[in-house]
Amino acid sequence: MTIESPCINICQLDASGEICTGCHRTLDEIVAWSGLSPEVRRRIMADLPARGTRAAAAPSR
């Protein structure tokens, strides 16, 4: 089973330059995505909602 990318075409990094504000993946995860195993992709996908919640709660700079 192929796990599609969580990209929503809002490709912009946060203030730290490490997390995409659209899909909440790290820059390293985005770069490596096509080569990651389905298991690793599933783990990342499972963590994305929590990352989004944390990002929404973080103070703006």
What is the pLDDT averaged over residues 29-54? Answer: 94
The Cα 54–Cα 52 span in angstroms is: 5
Alpha helix segments (H runs only) across 1-61:
27-32, 38-57
Per-residue pLDDT at 48 = 95
Give 56 or 10, the one with higher predicted confidence. 10
Q: What is the pTM of this model?
A: 0.83
The Cα 8–Cα 23 span in angstroms is: 6
Chain Cα centroid distance, residue 53: 12
